[in-house]
Structure 1
Amino acid sequence: MDRLSCLQVFAEVARANSFTVAAHRLSMSRASVSKHIAQLERALGAQLLQRTTKQVGLTDAGLRVLENGALLLERYEEIAADVRDTVTQPRGVVRVSAPQSFCTHQLLPLVSDFSRRHPDIQVALSIDDGRSALVSDGLDVMVRIASALEDASHVALPLLTAPQVLVGSPDYLRRAGMPRSLRDLARHNCLVHTIKSPTGIWRFGGSAADEIAVRVRGSLCANFGDVLHQAALRGAGLSMHPAYMVEDDLRAGRLLQVLPETPPRPLDVVALYSSRRHLPSRVRLLLDHLQRWARTPPPWAAPYRPAPSPPVLTAPGSPRPPPAHGP
């Protein structure tokens, strides 16, 4: 077994913190994984992993090998991809992560179309829980949906703007009343997304220049939007979502838009990829495919416009608005 293969196996074990998980990902036996690690440790003359009955951890030497080995493996992959592309069609695996709802409803149709065009390229999708990392998770592309990106160490390819909508179910709004201003949110049960709003602050306005920040609280929070979406449908409270998640519910009346005159800050849909100079052609092909899709934005990318006459909902016992008088 060559040292490059040993280094690849070691990197997978380090990422998974497990010989068994690494063996599954690499389609190898656990014994074969152990042999690769043992050979690499003998070649380098240092123990790279600390093994216990429950977990696997990196030694100081192992951490150095992981950091520097990632650059070596990345450069080798660039060379191999460049050589392959000169003699054959692009092939291999492109590893992509995205938020769960976007991955299911928006990215999957795009990937299906991409696969029809490039049958020799396999796309491996994974759910981004907000902690995914390109290098340590072995990803090629991360699709992020956020108002601001904290990590500037990667190349960001802007795709679309995703308008957000504040919503509540008719049942909840009948019980709690329809908010008339942002100040009214203080008395509502607000369902908070802990990745988008880790400090419990909802942001409204079309841009950072006219942003209004409102601190909210509620009985339920979650780190992915589908849970909050289902909770809102069940009448648990108000929730904030990209329009593509709730457009069907708004059309069907299962959810109602709240405070349409003061919409939430929109989010940016961005594809992140490595800053390395020579991307494998299979990754570049997928990025180009995403860009072509973004040039003709889907309907949900336009600001959501509510029905011209939304229903008036009031909480039991609250004063009703005066009836409209004719001329």
Structure 2
Amino acid sequence: MDRLTALNVFRHVAELQSFAEAGRRLGLSPAAISKNIAELERHLSCRLIHRTTRRMALTEEGRLYYRQVAQVLDDLDEADRSLFPMQATPSGVLRVSAPTTVTLKLLSPAIPRFLAQYPQLTLELDLDDRRVDLVKEGYDLAIRGSDRLEDSSLIARKLTSLEHVLCGSPAYFQGAGIPTRPADLARHNCIQFSLSSHSDFWEFSRGSERIGVSIDGRYKVGSSLAVRDALLAGFGLSVIPRVYVEDDLLSGAVVPVLTEWSLPLTEVYAVYGSRVHLALKVRVFLDFVSRALGGQ
């Protein structure tokens, strides 16, 4: 038994005092109307309607049940109607988790314009480099950067790819020397981004050649901004997304090395619960971050 259908059938029969008229209103056959009423009575273990070939009337139990069912169905209709404005215009609270550096460098300057476009929308943006549990922690969407996106039941939409560069300051290389091949990194102080899945193993490629190098250093930190600070201070060298040090490369504050070798990309994704019945507030934010990050 489809209980909601049966309740709707019962309400129409009770209000119209006619099985046939209820069927016409609902687009159901007389047999379907009778079947729904019979199944509902069987479920409740009581008779709701006295019916003969000539007339019908609600029983005492039917009158009591009708009053409560009518209120429940009205409340459901009101709940549905309450969402119509949100479906027509993005509104309500949107909770997003995003990594700190990606957001500060590439996204946050454009957020005020996004919110100005949707005045009924409130954004709660949590800057956190950890992997949040979207469902458990109540987030609508998360932005994640990874070279390996784990399997899950979530939907992942690729936003951009971040190119990496191996670099350090001129002062560091003056003292430590410039590496000319990946194997030279074994004698360098490598600043490690601890949240990376390969923080102690850097991979390089050149044509068909692939080399993996185990690296070590005295500074391991879970922030790319902190890695950049250490690079500028001349403390060591590191692999870092190029966009984070673009200005420093242009000014010469840091210089790239092993430039004939390529490094793996970091893919940036928007991760959310489902494509089905995706809330409009989530959909417009997805479009916004795709445009904001797509040019990187």
**If the length of structure 2 is used for normalisation, what is the TM-score?**
0.68
Instruction: Provide the residue aligned with 1:263 in structure 2.
Output: 262
Number of paired residues? 218
User: Is the 1:203–1:264 Cα contact (8 Å) retained in structure 2?
Assistant: yes
Q: Determine helix, strand or coil for the equivalent of 2:135.
A: coil
User: Is the 2:106–2:293 Cα contact (8 Å) retained in structure 1?
Assistant: no
Distance 1:210 1:153 in 2: 36
Unaligned ranges ≥5, structure 1: 1-77, 302-327
* Deviation of 1:198 (Å): 5.1
Distance 1:284 1:206 in 2: 40
**Aligned in 2, Cα 1:103/1:293: closer, same or farther, shift over 3 Å?**
closer
Instruction: Provide the residue aligned with 1:69 in structure 2.
Output: none
Distance 2:193 2:293 in 1: 26
Instruction: Provide the residue aligned with 2:128 in structure 1.
Output: 128
* Deviation of 1:287 (Å): 0.5
2:117 equivalent to 1:112: no
1:1-327 → structure 2 map (5 Å cutoff): 82-86=83-87, 89-197=89-197, 200-205=200-205, 211-275=210-274, 277-295=276-294, 297=295, 301=296
**If the length of structure 1 is used for normalisation, what is the TM-score?**
0.62
User: Is the 1:162–1:268 Cα contact (8 Å) retained in structure 2?
Assistant: yes
User: Is the 1:97–1:128 Cα contact (8 Å) retained in structure 2?
Assistant: yes
Q: Determine helix, strand or coil for the equivalent of 1:136.
A: helix
**Aligned in 2, Cα 1:287/1:211: closer, same or farther, shift over 3 Å?**
farther
Instruction: Provide the residue aligned with 1:37 in structure 2.
Output: none
Q: Determine helix, strand or coil for the equivalent of 1:135.
A: helix
* Deviation of 1:115 (Å): 0.9
Percent of pairs with identical residues: 35
User: Is the 1:192–1:220 Cα contact (8 Å) retained in structure 2?
Assistant: yes
Give the number of the structure whose residues are more often helix, by fraction. Answer: 2
* Deviation of 1:173 (Å): 0.4
Describe the superposition over 1:255-283 as per-residue Cα deviations: whole angstroms up to 9, x where unpaired: 01111111321111111111262121111
Q: Determine helix, strand or coil for the equivalent of 2:218.
A: coil
* Deviation of 1:120 (Å): 1.4
User: Is the 1:211–1:265 Cα contact (8 Å) retained in structure 2?
Assistant: no
Distance 2:98 2:292 in 1: 16
* Deviation of 1:210 (Å): 6.1
User: Is the 2:147–2:264 Cα contact (8 Å) retained in structure 1?
Assistant: yes
Q: Judge which range, 90-99 or 175-184, deviates more.
A: 90-99
Instruction: Provide the residue aligned with 1:16 in structure 2.
Output: none
**Aligned in 2, Cα 1:81/1:241: closer, same or farther, shift over 3 Å?**
farther
Instruction: Provide the residue aligned with 1:28 in structure 2.
Output: none
User: Is the 1:206–1:264 Cα contact (8 Å) retained in structure 2?
Assistant: no
User: Is the 1:111–1:123 Cα contact (8 Å) retained in structure 2?
Assistant: no
Unaligned ranges ≥5, structure 2: 1-78
| Root-mean-square deviation (Å) | 2.3
**Aligned in 2, Cα 1:211/1:162: closer, same or farther, shift over 3 Å?**
farther
- AA in 1 matched with 2:195: I
Q: Determine helix, strand or coil for the equivalent of 1:205.
A: strand
* Deviation of 1:81 (Å): 7.7
Describe the superposition over 1:125-166 as per-residue Cα deviations: whole angstroms up to 9, x where unpaired: 112222322112221111111111114321110111110111
Describe the superposition over 1:185-243 as per-residue Cα deviations: whole angstroms up to 9, x where unpaired: 00000011111145511122389x86532110000001121111111111110111111
User: Is the 1:140–1:274 Cα contact (8 Å) retained in structure 2?
Assistant: yes
Distance 2:227 2:177 in 1: 20
- AA in 1 matched with 2:186: A
Distance 2:129 2:82 in 1: 29
Instruction: Provide the residue aligned with 2:36 in structure 1.
Output: none
Distance 2:244 2:206 in 1: 19
Distance 1:170 1:259 in 2: 14
- AA in 2 matched with 1:191: I
Q: Judge which range, 285-294 or 114-123, deviates more.
A: 285-294
**Aligned in 2, Cα 1:81/1:136: closer, same or farther, shift over 3 Å?**
farther
